[in-house]
Structure 1
C-alpha cells in the first residue's frame, strides 16, 4: 500500500511540474560521452612521484609548473611519463603540509597509456600529517561518489595509493598516503557536449532540478563552503540552454570534519554555525512540488548511497571514522524522511536572497 501511495504522489508531483519532469527524463536518456580509461576502473591505482612540497608551494603559480615524472602500476609493470605540476588551492597552500596539485599532461606522452584523453588532472592529497590523514581523504572521495548517485553531471574520480618521495637535503622522505585524481572540466565538457560558463549566474536562473539537487547534496554532507552564484567550489556547465552546477572540494564539510576545518564566510557572510558538522540549508526557495520531487529522489536513492558507503568501508584505517561518517549521512535521511523536520530544517530555511 505504501509503495502505491508513493507512486501516486510522484505522479501528482510530475503533473504539476510536467515540463521539468520531462526535461529531466530527457537528460537521463541522453547518451553520455566516453569516460577515459583512467576513470573507468574502480580499483585503487598505485602512483609514485618525486618532488619537494616546499618547492611546489614556493616556486609554482597559475602559470609556473615543475617538471616531474609520474609513475604508475599498469598490469604489474611500472610505467612512467613526464608531467608538469603546480600547487593549487589558496587555503591549503598556506595551511597544509601537502598542497593539492594540478597536473598537466601532453598528448604525445599519454598515447597508449592509461592517461590517454586527459590533458589536466587534479590530485587531491591529505592536508596534514596526522592520525586520520588517510581517512580524511576517503571521506572527501565519498562525497564525490555520493554525488554520482545524485546527478549524472559530476566529476569522475579515481582512488590512489600514492607514494611521494620528497627530497630533504641529502635525504629523501617517503610519504605513503591515500589520494585521488579528479578529471578536468574540459573532459566533462566533452562528455556532455557543453561549455563551462565564465560569468556568474544566480542559482534561481540555473537549471532548477539540478540546482536543488546540488543544494540537497551540500546539506547532506554538511557543506557551506560553496556558492553557486559566485562559482566558489562550483563550476557551471552550459548545456542545452541551461546552466548546471558541478560541485567540487568538500574537505570543509561536516562529513569530512577535518582538524583544520572552519565555518566558511563567503563574500563576508557570517553563518550562524559553531561547527562544520552543523547543517544549514543554503538553497533558495522553490515551489513545494519541485522540492518534494527532489526529496523523493534522495529517499529512493538512500539504499544506493549507503551501499556506496559500505563499499568504501575497507579503505578506512579507523573503523570509528567510518561509523561516524555513516551516522552523519543517515542523520540527513532521518531529517528528510520526517515531514516536520523536512519543513523546519529545509523548507523554512530556504533562502530568499
Structure 2
C-alpha cells in the first residue's frame, strides 16, 4: 500500500468516526466589515518597541503594546494595539531575518466607528527581509489571495497596506508593503460556519466541487505546498448543514510568488516552483469544463486586481501577469486542460 493510499484510508476512517454532526454555536454570516469593504491601500504606522518584537522568535512570542496609526481613505485614527510575531517557517530568522509575519490583537469594542470595526485579531503579512524582491513578493502573494476572492467568497479576504515601523527607543523608522488577512474565525462566521480541525481528512468529504476548485487554483498559482488530506495550509470550515469547506492560505512557496527561499518538494519530480503540477484528486464526472468553470469570470476581473497594486514594479507585474495568463489559456484550450488537470489527477485508493 502506498503512503498516499494509507493516508487516505486513515483519513476516511477518522472523518467517518468524527461524523458530520458536531455541534455549532449560534453563528451565522456576519455583516460586512469596513476593513474588507474596500480594496484601496490602507496606510499604517506601527510605533513602539519594534526591535524587541521582531527579535521574539520563540514558540510562544509575547504580545507587545504598540501605537497603531492609520489612514483609510478620508479616515485617520490612532489606537493602542497588541502585536506579536506569528507563523512557523517565516517566523524563523533564517527565513525572514528582518521582520516576521505579525498578528494584531485589538481590544474588544475599542475600534467601533473605525475601519477596524468588527475586528478582534488580524494577520499581517510583512516584507520578511530587506530588498526589492521581498517587497515585490508581498504584492505577488496579495495577488494570489485576490484571485481566489474573485473565484469564490469561500476565501480569506485581504487588504493591501503600506506599513511604517517606528521604534522611538532605537531611533528607526522604515516603510514597507504588507497586507492584512481576515481572521479565520471571522471568515468562518461570514460563511455561516465554524473552524474545525482534523488530523486527516478524506478528499471526498469536502463539499462537492470544492476540492477540485482549490486544487485548480493552486495549479493556477503554481503551488504544491498544501495538502487537503493533512490540512496543510488549508483551514476547514464546517457549515451548519455539515458541509466542509477547504479555505487555502499561505502562498509564498508558489510559482506566482517565487520567494527566494521556496523550493519544490523533491518527491514531486518538478525542478522549480514555477513549474506547475496538478495535485487534485480524481472524481467521477471530472472533466475540463467542470474543473475550469469557477475560473470563467476571472479574465474580466484581473485588470482591476492588477490596478489595486499601485506600487508594483512593472517588471514584476508583467512577470506575474504572464504567469497567470499562461493558466488562463486553459479556458480556451479544453485539450490542454484535459491533459494538465483531468489526466493528471491523483486516484484515491
TM-score (norm 2): 0.83
> Of 295, 316, 326, which residue of structure 1 is paired with 2:292?
295
- Name the SS for the 1:223 alignment partner: coil
The answer as to whether partners of 2:124 and 2:181 remain within 8 angstroms in 1 is yes
Q: Which residue of 1 aligns with 2:273?
A: 276
Pairs within 5 Å for 1:98-113? 98-113=99-114
Q: Does residue 1:337 correspond to 2:336, yes or no?
A: no
The answer as to whether partners of 1:62 and 1:86 remain within 8 angstroms in 2 is no
Q: Which residue of 2 aligns with 1:311?
A: 307
The CA distance in 1 between the partners of 2:34 and 2:287, in whole Å, is 37
Worse overlay, 225-234 or 300-309: 300-309
Pairs within 5 Å for 1:1-353? 33-50=30-47, 51-53=49-51, 55-58=53-56, 61-62=59-60, 64-73=62-71, 78-94=76-92, 95-96=95-96, 97-166=98-167, 171-199=170-198, 200-239=200-239, 240-264=241-265, 270-289=267-286, 292-298=289-295, 300-312=296-308, 314-316=310-312, 318-353=313-348
The CA distance in 2 between the partners of 1:326 and 1:142, in whole Å, is 10
After TM superposition, give the deviation of residue 113 of structure 1 in Å: 2.3
TM-score (norm 1): 0.82
**Structure 1 regions of 5+ residues with no counterpart?**
1-30
Q: Which residue of 1 aligns with 2:12?
A: none
Change (3 A) 1:112 1:62: farther
Relative contact order (alpha carbons < 8 A, sep ≥ 6): 1 or 2 greater? 2
The CA distance in 1 between the partners of 2:114 and 2:191, in whole Å, is 23
CA deviation vs aligned residue, 1:24-52 (integer Å, no higher than 9, x gap) = xxxxxxx9641211111221111011333
Q: Which has the higher helix share?
A: 1
Change (3 A) 1:237 1:325: same
RMSD: 2.2
The CA distance in 2 between the partners of 1:249 and 1:134, in whole Å, is 16
Change (3 A) 1:212 1:57: farther
The CA distance in 2 between the partners of 1:341 and 1:71, in whole Å, is 49
The CA distance in 1 between the partners of 2:60 and 2:188, in whole Å, is 21
Paired residues in the alignment total: 315
- Name the SS for the 1:276 alignment partner: coil
